[in-house]
Chain A
């Protein structure tokens, strides 16, 4: 099995190169460590004011059974926005949320698969971006969880409480893991284009090795690297206090599909580049904006909708959404089917394009 020998050679070249290894593992881990140390695994404490303009049992449940159960929140209810605004200005509140009239109808329609937007008004002190960022993210997560799961279970007198302590590390860890997998783009491109540039590929093309052997040799090696990355990143996130409540294997599947997309993009870049110097900046030009747009480091909720739509064209926003859903909200496959199919489609298409282009490169 020639491809296996090539895979082994690629693995040895990678793990014996401290710089490449450090780049692959230490870079994302450094992010995680910094985030972990900066914010820690402890639950942040935010004081949130609630003005319930809906006055229905649904809205009350939302406040009492969902928002109030979030350990990071200390909930105070208000009759009007004037008092809440005053407390916000005095620093007694981090934010206040208005539940609009018609909230329960919106939730009901959503549960009947009629598309609707659940609108909450939130006012917060924008001077502290990280705090507002986390509050937005937590409220968003809790609301989605409430609308999808809590109501039917409450009607059935079997309430499911949001048991996850949504800490900052819970929120940030899936994004950092995806960021680590985004780094596979430059890693893959570098590995392939270096062999092309140094003539190693040409040398082995004078042997009976066939193009498929090279493609499998690179891909298997990179998939193995992706698996090791995922294991290390999840272990690190767990060590920093990430509470995993969902199916780890499902999350793993999502992350592998994400890794495959990165390898495919790397293969395309390697095919289109003549040298490592050309491939490297091109990869970063792709990876960094994607990391930012997809929400690796912060919630995309604060971004304009057109940017969020742009991010949704690529697999990473879907991967973050699905992995956060699985890992911290405990959702099952049915809740992430759309994201899963999108990731499968992306991986298949980009990998196919990568293989076609790389084969063409080898022939030339």
Chain B
């Protein structure tokens, strides 16, 4: 598909660029001056609680909403000036599974394919590939109203891919699905990595952690943190936690540890130590020298929830 014609003055390596992108609804600032640069082939996760402004951002980038101020380009096309060029180059899988319920898989795909100007032969070939890739071949002739939630979600994503777009917007692609169905969709999205530029919004931290190359954490319309999952966890966290399972945790051992580290908790043979700096080997050696028998120990990995809590002062689901 030859949709990509970068406009002059834009960075060819970038698929999505926003500059001070803002959207207000009356007095509510839904999206507040966000600047994003998403590279071609990158899977960018926009993470945030409900109402953070993720869908509004996607809607502006898909030319469904006009920004109040600021600008953005998709594959070099300006969202205000060239909406129909953008619409030809993107695929959108909305938050709701929006399908023609009385049409079957093939017909739903053909509808979007025809709207994108694909020939019947192209549609048949591409649909076949997609249906097989997502494992819907056996049910492809059934009306989609008979599909399970997971199957509908998969078709929802396929419809965004039928015309082989350069940029893919996935708005909460696994919302409301059971773990098995979520996993199936993750695997499919994972296979698209590198092949497409993907902007994925989610409020599931594990989803962003597993899928995204880079993550932007959004809260109250702003990007409050940006980076890879590891970068965010390391840069944002000032404290580390070590968890040790040990025998012979005497009062002497506990007192010694409490005198050396900021926070020490003991529960049922488990020692949890938290401080700005923790040296794994030094702690193990110290415990041995104090007579404790260490069975196992590990550094607790910080989660994106910890990062979110750190940067916003509240939990993701608040």
Residues on the B chain within 8 Å of A207, using CB: 87, 112, 115-116
- B-chain residues with CB within 8 Å of residue A204 when the two chains form the complex: 112, 115
Total chain A interface residues with beta-carbon distance under 8 A = 21
Which of A5, A198, A203, A205 is the one whose CB lies under 8 Å from B114? A5
Q: Determine if B157 is an interface residue (Cβ-Cβ < 8 Å).
A: no
Residues facing B in A1-21 (CB within 8 A) are 2, 5-6, 9, 12-13, 16-17
Say yes or no: is A206 at the interface (Cβ < 8 Å to chain B): yes
Tell whether, in the assembled complex, residue A206 and residue B63 are in contact, meaning their CB atoms are under 8 Å apart: yes
CB contacts (< 8 Å) of B169 on chain A: these are 206
Extra contacts besides A6-B115, A204-B112, A208-B87 (6): CB < 8 Å:
A2-B115, A9-B103, A200-B99, A204-B115, A208-B116, A210-B84
Interface contact B102-A208, CB-CB below 8 Å: no
**Which residues from chain A contact B110 at a C-beta distance below 8 Å?**
5
A199 at the interface (CB under 8 A from B): yes
In angstroms, Cα B62 to Cα A203, docked, is 10
CA of A203 to CA of B58, assembled, Å = 12
Interface string of A3-46 (1 = CB under 8 A from B): 00110010011001100000000000000000000000000000
Number of inter-chain CB pairs below 8 Å: 62
Q: Is B234 an interface residue (CB 8 A)?
A: no
Give CA–CA (A271, B240) in the complex, Å. 57
Residue pair A12, B115 in contact (C-beta under 8 Å): no
Q: Which residues of B contact A2 (CB under 8 A)?
A: 114-115
CA distance A309 to B203 in the complex (A): 60
Complex CA gap A204/B96 in Å reads 13
Closest A residue to B89 by beta carbon equals A208
B70 within 8 A of A: no
Q: Which of the residues A9, A208, A210, A213 comes within 8 Å of B100, measured between beta carbons?
A: A9
> Given A5, A16, A200, A206, which contacts B64 in the complex, CB threshold below 8 Å?
A206
How far in angstroms is the closest Cβ of chain B from A134?
Answer: 43
Within 8 A of A (CB), among B85-120: 87-88, 90, 92, 94, 96, 98-103, 107, 110-112, 114-117
Q: Are B92 and A206 in contact (CB under 8 A)?
A: yes
Report yes or no: B114 in contact with A12, Cβ–Cβ below 8 A.
Answer: no
Pairwise interchain contact B87-A198, C-beta atoms closer than 8 A: no
Cβ–Cβ contact B115 & A206, under 8 A: no
Task: Determine the distance from Cα of A209 to Cα of B62 in the docked complex, in whole angstroms.
Answer: 13
Which chain A residues numbered 75 to 91 have a C-beta less than 8 Å away from chain B? Answer: none
In the bound complex, do residue A5 and residue B96 qualify as a contact, i.e. CB atoms below 8 Å apart? no
- Find out whether the CB atom of B87 lies under 8 angstroms from the CB atom of A199: no
CB-defined A-B contacts under 8 Å, sample of 30: A2-B114, A2-B115, A5-B114, A6-B111, A9-B103, A9-B111, A12-B100, A12-B102, A12-B107, A13-B102, A13-B103, A16-B143, A17-B102, A198-B96, A199-B94, A199-B96, A199-B98, A200-B98, A200-B100, A202-B98, A203-B159, A205-B64, A206-B64, A206-B92, A206-B169, A207-B87, A207-B112, A208-B84, A208-B115, A208-B117
Please name all residues of chain B whose beta carbon is closer than 8 Å to the beta carbon of A12 when the two chains form the complex.
Answer: 100, 102-103, 107
- Identify the A interface with B (CB < 8 A): 2, 5-6, 9, 12-13, 16-17, 198-200, 202-210, 213
A199–B92 Cα distance when bound, in Å, is 12
Interface centre among A202, A203, A204, A209 (most CB of B within 10 A): A203
Task: Give complex CA distance A5, B92 in Å.
Answer: 19
B79 to chain A, nearest CB (A): 12
**A5→B111 CA distance, assembly (Å):** 6
Which of B62, B102, B117 has a CB less than 8 Å from the CB of A16? B102
**Hey, which chain A residues are within 8 Å of B101, CB to CB?**
13
Q: Which residues of A contact B96 (CB under 8 A)?
A: 198-199
**Complex interface: chain B residues within 8 A of A213 (CB):** 115
* CA–CA, A203 and B156, complex, Å: 10
**When each residue 121-148 of chain B gets 1 if its CB lies under 8 Å from chain A and 0 otherwise, what string results?**
0000000000000000000000100000
Q: Which residue of B lies closest to A205 (CB)?
A: B64
Q: Which of B263-310 contact A (CB under 8 A)?
A: none
| Minimum C-beta distance from B150 to chain A (A) | 19
